[in-house]
Structure 1
Amino acid sequence: MFEALGHIPAGEIRRRQDAVRHHLADVAPEAGGILVFSRLNIYYLTGTLGQGVLWLPLDSAPVLLVRKGLDRARLESPLEHIHSYKSYSQMPGLCADAGSPLPHTVAVVMAGLSWQLGQLLERKLADRKFVPGDHAVALAKMIKSEWELDILRTCGKLHHEALCEMLPGMLHPGMTEREISHKSWEVFFAKGHQGMLRMQAHGEECFLGHVSAGDSGNYPSSFNGPLGLRGEHPAVPFMGHAAKVWQPKEPLMLDIGFQIDGYQTDKTQAYWSGPESSIPDEVRRAHEFCVEMQNRTAEHAKPGVTPAELYAYCIEQARKRGFAEGFMGLGDNKVPFIGHGIGLTVDEFPPLAAGFDMPLQEGMALALEPKQGIPGVGMVGVENTYEVTASGARCISGDRYEMICV
């Protein structure tokens, strides 16, 4: 009677499952497979946002067990073995019946389970040994297929059109951050944004993004990013504040993600309320420095180069050229990275930060976000989404990096 609204190709699903199996051999070599509980990772590996658990064995067919939505899962996923279950105690029998029994040692994506449910799993399957397997999935998701990159390229194109072509004509000094937020939503939905932004870090949330006028760019933030914001309310510290007005001769930073088909691009666009001639030299130089760091990082983000090398160069340049104080945030807002992986979540592996020495590979998607906080003024800078190619990282979210004067 019903048809699925879309499918991830079966070959793409198999590629992802095989990538997880490959990385599991290094991450948890003693494990005979991996249990995945997080709904987004279940989607990545099955094609359906299942509420339940996926058993992905090393050498036999995967088994998806769902608590709710069995019919939808069977519509959307190419997996052969999709069954309902009520209790973790049923898992060994259901997996064995499908020809994929649970071995003694099982890897688990532990970030997808609460402590309460993790303890319950250990009690129900007391004869099994559970080991961490999260990194195997993170490494698989790190490299995008051409199928995924096509979605991200479309997403980035629409993202650029929304922030750089459509929105500027709808903005003017005197608007509140909340009014700017609503105009942004209007434009984004008109361009096909599907309304979700997802984070993978435990407890991290995101709604639309950051809308920061003037000194809001340095307002104390609990979000793991350099751009401060007042947000809606202490209980909803996202988007923009109804009482903060964008004044003449102030920067406005819109750090807003775009999402289609589950995939996100990240982009920050800086605006200035006034003619270009009214931009102070301090603000202009800071923004130009951030653009330079973005472009230099992209040029050198080639296979074989490490995230730590890219980060170290930017930090050293900020120190040498007098930007160290506000680079990547002022005070407690400062963050120890200049970018991050991106895909089904905004904050994928790897961060571009010290200590991350796994070389970049072709097919990675990265958000590069050099930003500069200026005391008493706000924040300026850029962020764009890139795909790593053999000759460097290519921007897929537009080619305008200057402050747009309104």
Structure 2
Amino acid sequence: MSDLESNIVVPRSELEARWAKCRRFLPEVAPRAGGIICFSRLQIYYLSGSFVNGAVWLPLEGEPVLFVRRSFERASIESPIKNIVRFKSFKDLAPLAKQAGQPLTEIMGAETAGLTWQLGEMLTSRMSEYIFVPGDKVLAMSRAVKSEWELEIMREVGHLHNTALVEVLPELLETGMSEMEIAKYLWNVFFELGHEGHMRMQTFNEEIFLGHVSAGDSGIYPSSFNGPLGLRGVHPVSPFMGSGDKFWDEKAPLSVDCGFVMEGYHSDKTQVYWSGPKSSIPKEVLDAQLFCQEMQALAAENLKPGNIVSDVYAMVMAEAEKQGYMDGFMGIGECKVPFIGHGIGLTVDGFPPIARGFDIPIEEGMVFAIEPKQGIPGVGMVGVENTFEVTPSGGQSISGNDFDIICIE
């Protein structure tokens, strides 16, 4: 055993609460499964407290088994799990689990998104006597409901995020800056405040790096990212942050949609700036911004335990239709996205999205990013996004409460 110590350890009580949530949802999602097995590093961290290469077997009862390729020593230092074993091949999993006193069951829930097709075929060929059924929804639903331990981290993340975008960045902005210059200033501010640098997406093949810095019509430029705010990005192969060739002109919006992460947990926030006094903002822009703020408030008010996620989406879309904003709401043309928010936590794009078809009861402790935005042809995109914690009285913003456009004169 190593004499080294980890500077941060996820409490065993926290892990036990996570295991209990998975065991709560597993019979609903995969009623025949005797447990769930996970392969992605993020899910391994969620269930074990260590971001290692391997797998985790969580049976319906008893102690989980953490299988480790690399690094066994790191896992032993960081994870409170009692059953930590080395393995080299998928064929080793069953005998090692049996040896640890937690044999694999004939039918198992599996984190299918945690393996490539190639590795999935290898798994089933090496373990042909077992039946694997999709268990991803178990993990998604478990992670959607945050513990108080997680919420404390996220509240601090949201606070620092608001400090960066509302208090610090405005002092550094000047009309005429390129999007890339603004992105560099923002990175410096974020890092000074404790941003860890590496953000994560859950969706396969989706990437993120800082977020979007969109000046003027960049906000309605076609985006490959599954979000309403457009951007030109650094380069076609790196459609992130902002372009060094796109400048923030006078009397134009600047939309900054960037995530903040600490201890693995994210907040999401969009702040719109205007290059000029408030008197120079066209009525069309002010009205669109106010509409988005109203839609954020409507959604937040209805993020109450027992309400249905898809009903919140339908309510906001009906109001957008009523007020005549549907054409540019949540994007223009083919860039319009079919959601008005999403869960958030260990990934930016957490479960569930606030969208049609997600007939899921909202629970206290869930956290959502609500992001109503309005595209304006010839101008760009305005709107808001903030991170909300579900409480008995509705969603409470943990990323600030000042949602107006910030004018830079």
Q: Is residue 333 from structure 1 mapped to residue 335 from structure 2 by the alignment? A: yes
Which residue is 1:237 aligned to? 239
**Which residue is equivalent to 2:224?**
222
Q: Secondary structure at the match of 1:163?
A: helix
How far residue 377 of structure 1 moved from its aligned partner, in angstroms, is 0.4
Alignment of 1:89-100 (within 5 A): 89-100=91-102
Bigger mean CA deviation after superposition, 308-317 or 361-370: 308-317
Unaligned runs of 5+ in 1: none
1:51 aligns with 2:58: no
How far apart in 2 are the matches of 1:116 and 1:178? 38
Task: Judge conservation of contact 1:271–1:403 (CA < 8 Å) in 2.
Answer: yes
- CA shift for structure 1 position 313: 1.6
What are the superposed Cα offsets for residues 102-138 of structure 1, whole Å, 9 maximum, x if unpaired? 1111110000000000000011001111111110111
What's the CA shift string for 1:141-192, capped at 9, x where partnerless? Answer: 0100111000000000000000000000100110000000000001000110
Q: Which residue of 2 aligns with 1:391?
A: 393
1:304 aligns with 306
- In 1, distance between residues paired with 2:345 and 2:162? 17
Measured against aligned partners, the alpha-carbon deviations of 1:292-331 in whole angstroms (never above 9, x if no partner) come to 1101211121111112111112111211212110000011
TM-fit CA distance, 1:82: 0.8
- The percentage of counterpart residues that share the same residue type is 55
Task: Give the 4+ runs in structure 1 shifted more than 6 A.
Answer: none
Aligned to 1:139: 141
Alignment of 1:154-165 (within 5 A): 154-165=156-167
Decide which of 24, 27, 30 is 1:25's aligned counterpart: 27
Q: Check conservation: 1:293, 1:370, Cα contact below 8 A.
A: yes
- The answer to whether residue 88 in structure 2 is matched with residue 86 in structure 1 is yes
Which of residues 255, 258, 263 is equivalent to 1:256? 258
**CA–CA separation in structure 2 for the residues paired with 1:134 and 1:356:** 15
Secondary structure of 2:257's match? Answer: strand
- Tell me which residue corresponds to 2:150: 148
- 1:260-279 alignment to 2 at 5 Å? 260-279=262-281
Name the CA distance, whole Å, in 1 between partners of 2:220 and 2:387: 23
1:357 to 353, 356, 359: 359
Letter of the structure 2 residue corresponding to residue 182 of structure 1: K
Report how far residue 60 of structure 1 moved: 2.4
Q: Secondary structure at the match of 1:44?
A: helix
Q: The residue matched to 1:89 in structure 2 has which SS?
A: helix
Instruction: Name 1:63's counterpart in structure 2.
Output: 65
Match of 2:127 among 99, 114, 125: 125
- Residue number among 274, 280, 287 corresponding to 2:282 in the alignment: 280
Structure 2 residues without counterparts, runs of 5 or longer: none
Q: Figure out how many residues of one structure are paired with residues of the other and give that number.
A: 406
* Contact kept? 1:60, 1:99, Cα under 8 Å: no
Is the contact between residue 291 and residue 401 of structure 1 (CA under 8 Å) also seen in structure 2?
yes
RMSD: 0.7
Give the structure 2 partner of residue 195 of structure 1.
Answer: 197
Q: Which moved more, 1:296-305 or 1:261-270?
A: 296-305
Q: Distance in 2 between matches of 1:53 and 1:382?
A: 39
Q: Give the TM-score of the pair, scaled to structure 2.
A: 0.98
